[in-house]
Structure 1
């Protein structure tokens, strides 16, 4: 990175995780950097992950970790140890960077900066967010020092197959886009698992279409396995939040306030369906819950489309407030829920242009508040099973007649 942004310097000096070591001993140079948190993975996972990329010069930063109090933590410690030992044995050259960090050259054709936190289990509330932050902080350092040629941090997971053209996606990204959320497809040879995953994927895509219908720019699906972020943007939002899940949601929520989130139709990331126990919520736990609900006779439920219709009108009236100076009507309780009169009056006193007002509403009614508002309205409009949802007239309006997938 020829010019180091002020926010990047500040981040590296004040907000880099304490577990990130000095990387001065690293002398190589790579085109791209890919971060991967790893817990209880088979040592061969990288062959599948990078199966379409044998010709590209990529540094993988792999953070081997486990939660402290999970009932399977001891089992995962053993499997993590096996992976570390096998990779170290397979590497052509090992360079010790610190007690926990080793540069392996090469493993299955790729250089790996292996971060072994297996003996130092993470506090349960930090989990995968801490693993991604440690890896991304190291990636940022290497971008700044010129060891990585392109200023983009690629993030994925060990259950993924990265498609051809994956590392060329930033070449498509426009000047205002600071991150990318790739399309994905879940794969499995087990039809029952695929059916469960389809129920959850439908929910994610339907929600995305609902947010798009509202008119909000937070209309992406936040998955750590399909995420690409510009190094400077990563520093400006002060990195991944250290939490046991949802770190991708909160990171992109901050990014979208600074610039766009690019969502190309191609390439498509393939993700293996798994009922993971590694995180407290997310895709793995979600399909476990769907299976349990179905076994108890409860079909998967989806938000009533009326919720998105109400939110669209409410948001539009918030945008018009700069001229109308009138609280939204027919708000179904949202004004009181968010104490909108206080919020709007205070904001008006600090706003001197319509453009700034539009930006204020965009930043205030963010992905988090939209989700909370949906959940609030769910109390008035109960969720529907899939068949009932598809029969509801509002569904076609919200989705534009497209299948939520």
Structure 2
């Protein structure tokens, strides 16, 4: 961890040296123009004992949303005026009393972040500082909670017990209902798509079968530092972080009540719920269907994953693959080169598998699914998906995650 903190962490970790206090747990929250959600979240967090909330109020350096930036700054002012200040570290970093049980908010105001890095950088600032506080023994838990302002946390959120050997753990989730019936319908389609993809990966035997939602993460500080923290991206930072973490240790699922995620539409982030709801709603207006990956994509993925162990001493892997589209997709991804590298750099079968699965990671898995789709396995409608649930158990598993789909 020290190497990461010394060479790769954000400069904000220097705040730890000046910060006065000790806490049992830490939670990291980036926020931009979300005061209506933050008020509720902080109220829930105020019920916790010895908790440090690292709140990074931020804005992108693009001038397209100056009103939102001003609203964020005004919220910071209200927060400082409402809560008792404990310590002013610098002009943009203030420790505030959250409750009488030794819980605090470390308010970091970081406006004008590069638009291309935005939320990823905001998450990294908070989690890097959390790492430093853990290293300095000012936070006793080795786990960093990562969530968002518009999430409703269950009562047992901090009581969840992660596997101590895991690189990260993931909370289960549901999206709250949207009061607009059409937007709510779109939201349910999107949530089904999330579960369907992960259920398909699980069925295929992928080691990357987990959700990648930044507001549902519990990060092991040791492994977070090992993979050099959150990527500084305007979107997808959660996906790429978990993709790296999964190559170091297990990603486990927490046994707790689900987090309730916001069901609002939004155009701010390039990925995620808000954009997906907007997209699905636009399709509905045009009387077009939102579609899901063809089940056969996961069948072919499973065939490939089951073949990998047999390739340790195999030079021509393509002759073992009957499906032409699968052969072409794997060839275009550079599989032959990756296979040769794994064979020449592995001392045993376990090492070979590790090399191959580190190469064929979450990103390449998604890339293969997209390639198979574009090669002719056209995506299917909800009705088509429902009609195949008896044939594919992973479809039934996905549909069962939310009630109502089998009645539409």
Query: What TM-score comes out, normalization by structure 1 length?
Result: 0.92
Assess if the C-alpha contact under 8 Å between 1:127 and 1:279 holds in 2. Answer: no
Output the CA distance in 1 between the equivalents of 2:255 and 2:48.
24
2:143 matches 1:152: yes
Output the CA distance in 2 between the equivalents of 1:395 and 1:16.
49
2:194 matches 1:201: no
Identify unmatched segments of 5+ residues in structure 1: 1-7
SS of the residue 2:392 aligns to? helix
Deviations 1:151-189 (A, max 9, x none): 1000000111111221122x3x22431201111011135
Matching residue of 2:365: 370
- Structure 1 position 193, deviation (Å): 3.0
2:227 matches 1:232: no
Output the CA distance in 2 between the equivalents of 1:189 and 1:297.
20
Deviations 1:43-74 (A, max 9, x none): 66243455276143211001111122262x20
Assess if the C-alpha contact under 8 Å between 1:308 and 1:398 holds in 2. Answer: no
Assess if the C-alpha contact under 8 Å between 2:390 and 2:396 holds in 1. Answer: no
- Counterpart of 1:346 (choices 335, 341, 345) is 341
2:4 matches 1:14: no
- Structure 1 position 77, deviation (Å): 1.4
Output the CA distance in 2 between the equivalents of 1:48 and 1:367.
31
- Structure 1 position 325, deviation (Å): 4.6
Assess if the C-alpha contact under 8 Å between 1:21 and 1:97 holds in 2. Answer: no
Quickly say closer, same or farther: Cα 1:206–1:49, change in 2 above 3 A.
farther
Matching residue of 1:115: 108
Kindly report the root-mean-square deviation, in angstroms, between the aligned alpha carbons of the 2 structures: 2.0
- Structure 1 position 20, deviation (Å): 4.2
- Structure 1 position 83, deviation (Å): 0.8
Identify unmatched segments of 5+ residues in structure 2: 402-408
318-327 or 357-366, which deviates more: 318-327
Deviations 1:123-174 (A, max 9, x none): 21101000000000111111111111101000000111111221122x3x22
Matching residue of 1:220: 210
2:125 matches 1:129: no
- Structure 1 position 400, deviation (Å): 5.8
Matching residue of 2:399: 403
Assess if the C-alpha contact under 8 Å between 1:52 and 1:164 holds in 2. Answer: no
Query: What TM-score comes out, normalization by structure 2 length?
Result: 0.91
Deviations 1:15-55 (A, max 9, x none): 11134443222121111100000000126624345527614
- Structure 1 position 96, deviation (Å): 1.5
